[in-house]
Structure 1
């Protein structure tokens, strides 16, 4: 968590701090399943994260903190949408950060008139793996742009076969992208990317744990910044 503390220190020194910090899983380096060795250890680590955030009073008082589970985090199943992280794991963190928000995956937030969708899934890899015909490179050879075009045209966050990605049908509407939101954050372990057109801004912040990458986003201008790692 040393790299994260450096990031928080930098924001703490700013006069105007971000309105929202979004943390997206996976929150553990090992897949969370029945053979997971230590639930209590992960709970303790969340508590330490809460202490770290609380040590930055300017951020604690003026920012909100949103936590979205990843595909290998704790939960009843791997079907989408994923429910929020279990309270047992997060209550230590909430003792230090009472206004922390633990949401489902995907998650939608409203910022004034804008709708922003967050989705944590290794979608680019899985879409390419399930692809029968390679996408045309006539207009672009950027796979991220092809991914964005696919989900926008399908109006669905995860247009994969059910045998590849199960979906809870009663909540399939949470994956719909109609009407098209203003911004989509497709959090993926692949390299960070951004795609913008007249209708939408879509970006992948990359993996902070692996590459120390993060993204700063300004909804008022729909500007995406890639701070130096």
Structure 2
């Protein structure tokens, strides 16, 4: 078991592992892989990645891969495992996504006489299909649930094909101390109690209180009893209690040791009364990964959109899309990381940064956010934000078999 408090080397490992993960993915991309036999690279349409250390004294166009960092106030650098170079991003043509500190980019440009790397074009490392990643590392169990035999995989495919009626109901920002929220929740539970096939899973994402559970929060016993009331409300719907599962994921302002990621599950003291009514409920960490037959689904509750937009170093490109949610999805998928923000903006437990990696790419990513609900299919990955239930009465009904997202509201 890794310690919560890592030493200095753990912070170095955090950045190195992020870089190497994307670099090994890039090395398999045909546009950036060198030909096996010695020949003109231009014949293959390939771009050779130069180590930043090799830029000294070089002229002409070069491709580099580096992490954007601010080593001096107001001066941005590109860093790889060999060196760092000051970069001028002011005139760069960029691709879709939010370019912030800590994001890893591919940059094409040239060294100026004053030692600054003038960036002409800048983008994120290209994505890799999940099937290609899984095939490349066929012996590695990325999910952590145990490797499956070929026969077991075939059986799961058959079961998934038959589960056409399975549905997940996902709500974010469920304030248990808000009377209107609880009344709306009762309407939803009563509605799904009377449908022909009840949902197989209800996902409740935090925050579970309208006030941040910080040092000035003195109502832990009240929150405990509110979870008890929720359990009593659910148990009153007999079909849901018997046939549905309930998953709880803490939000950024919920009770916990601190505001760092990943967040541990809600403490037993808070959930005990609820579990007396619903003993099979699952209280998970944030982020949370579940396996649905052959699919991998990731749930992440964090107000990422606001923070990403504030941390952006340059206005996002509007060439492909002007939707901020689509820029967010592009950023986290290309970075293979749920929270590629500076550690000063969002602290991360150094030893557990791997919990935020999304590699190989999952089939579905649920991004619980306070912003308006959205759904977006990006390179075969289904991404959606269920919206803020307490603020907008919005939620999502998701059918994993067909990966159909139904944006709903009361």
Normalising by the residue count of structure 1, what TM-score does the alignment of the two structures yield? 0.99
Distance 2:385 2:282 in 1: 21
Map 1:23-42 → 2, pairs under 5 A? 23-42=204-223
Pick closer, same or farther for the CA change 1:104–1:118 going to 2, 3 Å: same
The residue that corresponds to 2:338 in the other structure is: 157
Residue 373 (structure 2) aligned to one of 192, 196, 202: 192
1:34 alignment partner, SS class: coil
The equivalent residue for 1:80 is: 261
8 Å Cα contact 2:367-2:384 kept in structure 1: yes
Give the whole-Å Cα distance in 1 for the aligned partners of 2:314 and 2:407.
32
2:239 aligned residue (58, 69, 74): 58
The structure that has the greater radius of gyration is 2
1:1-229 equivalent positions in 2, closer than 5 A: 1-229=182-410
- CA distance in 1 between counterparts of 2:351 and 2:324 reads 31
CA contact 2:337–2:356 (8 Å) conserved in 1 = yes
- 8 Å CA contact 2:205–2:249 kept in 1: the answer is yes
Rounded to whole Å, the distance in 1 between the matches of 2:326 and 2:335 is 14
Q: Any unmatched runs of 5+ in structure 2?
A: 1-181
Q: What is the alpha-carbon distance in structure 1 between the residues aligned to residue 333 and residue 295 of structure 2?
A: 17
Q: Which runs of 5+ in 1 are unaligned?
A: none
Q: Which runs of 4+ in 1 moved over 2 A?
A: none
Residue 134 of structure 1, CA deviation: 1.1
* Partner Cα distance (2:378, 2:311) in 1: 26
State the secondary structure of the residue aligned to 2:395. coil
Q: Following the alignment from structure 1 to structure 2, what is the Cα–Cα distance between the partners of residues 40 and 78?
A: 21
SS in 1 for 2:353: helix
* CA deviation vs aligned residue, 1:122-167 (integer Å, no higher than 9, x gap): 0000100111111100110001000000000100000000001111
Distance in 2, matches of 1:18 and 1:58, equals 10
Aligned length: 229
Counterpart of 2:6 in structure 1 is none
Segment drifting more, 96-105 vs 32-41: 32-41
Contact 2:275 2:281 in 1 (8 A): yes
Higher mean alpha-carbon deviation, 190-199 vs 39-48, is at: 190-199
Distance (whole Å) between structure 1 residues aligned to residue 328 and residue 288 of structure 2: 19
Superposition CA RMSD, Å: 0.7
